[in-house]
Amino acid sequence: MDLILETLQKRLNSDKRKLKFYEFLDRFIGLFITFINIVILIIASLALDKLTSDSEFNKNNLFSQNTSLLLLIAFTIVLIVSFFLNIVIEIYKINQRYDEYKKVSNTFSYLIVKYRTKFINEKDLIAQTNKLW
């Protein structure tokens, strides 16, 4: 039993270190993507403002200006939708990780109960625990 607890403790410690690193990396990448999205959104808004102000001064080629304006408006709308979709994806990832953690935690608790009631032996407990990780 002590061997199992020692093995689980070592694995728990290494997994905690890995989790901290991956959590930091995930948050950094998520914040970086959010920052880039905001910058692109600002650039697109400024370009839209510049294009609309330029179109008021130059009325020579109406078709070209309208096409450019419509394309830029569509691009800006797509960027805004992309920004909100990234937020939704981040929330979904957090919820998914929590759900996965709860599943593994419940399975591990179930295995401990089975081991304590002698339904499985030490070897089976170690094998099943290794499958969880």
Look at the pTM and tell me if it is higher than 0.95. Answer: no
pLDDT tens figures, 47-81: 777 766 766 655 666 666 677 777 777 877 787 78
Tokens matching residue 11: 């694995």
The answer for residues whose C-beta is within 8 angstroms of residue 93's C-beta and 6 or more apart is 26
pLDDT at 92 over 80: yes
For residue 34, count other CB atoms closer than 10 A to its CB: 14
